[in-house]
Amino acid sequence: MNARRDTTTQYTIGLGVLALAIFVTLTFYAPNFLSRANLNSMGSQFPEFGLLALGLLPAMITGGIDLSVVAIANLASIVAALLLRAGPEYALLAIPAALLTGLACGVLNGCLIAYLRLPPILATLGTLQLFGGIAIVITGGPSITGLPAWYSAWGTWSIGGFLPVPLIVFTIVAIGMGLFLRFSATGMRARLYGANPLAARFVGIQERKLVIKIYATAGVIASIAGLVILARANSATADYGASYLLLVILINILAGVSPFGGVGSTMGVVLAVITLQLISSGLNFLAFTAFTRDLFFGGLLIAIMSIRVIAEGRLGDFRTLISRRQT
């Protein structure tokens, strides 16, 4: 475990240095980078996919993955939007209903993995389509608009003119996730289970209960992301953030979270979110299109995964990763 902890620390330090280097470079070569408008824009943008990345983190620490986080966020935002638009008497139910939607989706993912023994990648790929289909059936396709002004306003609010409210939400959730993984029994068991599922069973960890808790946590955090998206976009749609799934996986891999489980930190994810936001801003200043950014991020994900697997000498583990989780 000490070697794993050292690896996580090295990734975190490396990310901090990389983020600082990108920040300094953009400061010198992009004159408008430090403008209040640009900093506010960045502070409002990255909490959306940052929250989704935090939701994915505990699932990856257990050696699994949740491909449905974006679909859960969209479904939760649609549920909240319908209640907000239904009238003042239903508005107070919007946020609890969205959170319960995320919880239910996460529990379903956990049950499919824990009880039916479906590989996480296949189970959540299926629920990705399921939740997306439910969202389309509910909305009929078009976006839901006409939200109360008080709700949509907080998505663009800034405290003191430089601290966006979505950034505050992201910070609170990040702190909570850090405490959860480091000090809670569930968080520590998730790390042990991810490092060695067989040993975790021998020490009495209830695998099914743990898996359901982890994926329920991912669902709730995804629903919080959906509430932030709803406030920022002032609308809810079934296919919002189509490129976010690639981004949140890339964030976790860049943060040093092992696809084999057992390794990862909240601080690493936070620094990876900031790093990718800085890279995205740099590409914007260079006038790259959104399609070019997706190409760049996809290539970056493959490169990081390849370098890490070869460096750790675990190339053969990819052949047994899924079967190891099901034995």
Q: What is the pLDDT of residue 195?
A: 87
Q: How many CB atoms lie within 10 A of CB 56?
A: 28
Number of H helices, E strands in the chain: 15, 2
* Separation CA 80–CA 86 (nearest Å): 10
Per-residue exposure over 278-306, b if at least 16 CB sit within 10 Å of its own CB, e if not = bbbbbbbeeeeeeeebeeebeebbeeeee
Q: Residues 6 or more apart from 170 whose CB is under 8 A from it? A: 46, 47, 50, 51, 54, 228
Measured from the Cβ of residue 13, the count of other Cβ atoms closer than 10 Å reads 12
Res 269: pLDDT: 93
Confidence (pLDDT) at 40: 82
Per-residue pLDDT of the chain (327 residues; tens, 9 = 90+): 544 555 667 777 878 888 888 888 888 887 777 777 777 878 888 899 999 999 999 999 999 999 999 999 999 999 999 999 988 888 889 999 999 999 999 999 999 999 999 999 999 999 999 999 999 999 988 899 888 988 888 888 888 767 889 999 999 999 999 999 999 999 999 999 998 888 888 888 899 999 999 999 999 999 999 999 999 988 999 989 888 898 899 899 888 888 888 888 899 999 999 888 888 887 777 767 777 777 877 787 787 777 766 666 554 554 444 444 444
Spatial distance between the Cα atoms of 202 and 214, rounded to a whole number of angstroms: 20
Q: Any idea what the Cα angle at residue 6 is, between residues 4 and 11, rounded to 5°?
A: 95
Which backbone phi and psi does 38 adopt, to 5 degrees? Answer: -70, -45
Per-residue DSSP letters for 228-242? HHHHHHTSB-TTTTT
Which pLDDT score, from 0 to 100, does residue 319 have? 45
Q: Is the CATH number of domain 2-326 2.60.40? A: no
Looking at residue 169, its pLDDT comes to: 94
Element (H, E) at 295: helix 290-312
The three-point CA angle 214-220-226 to 5° equals: 140
Number of Cβ within a 10 Å radius of residue 2: 6
Give pLDDT, residue 173. 96
Cα–Cα separations (whole angstroms), residue 274 to 59, 191, 324: 21, 24, 33
* Per-residue model confidence (pLDDT) at position 161: 67
User: Is there a contact between 107 and 209 (Cβ–Cβ < 8 Å)?
Assistant: no
The whole-angstrom separation of Cα 113 and Cα 284 is 40
Q: How far apart are CA 59 and CA 3, in angstroms?
A: 21
Q: Which one, of 84, 86, 95, 313, lies nearest residue 224 by Cα?
A: 95
Q: How many residues does the chain have?
A: 327
Calpha distance 85→93 (Å, rounded): 11
This prediction's pTM = 0.88
Q: How many CB atoms lie within 10 A of CB 231?
A: 22
All structural domains of the chain with their residue ranges: 2-326
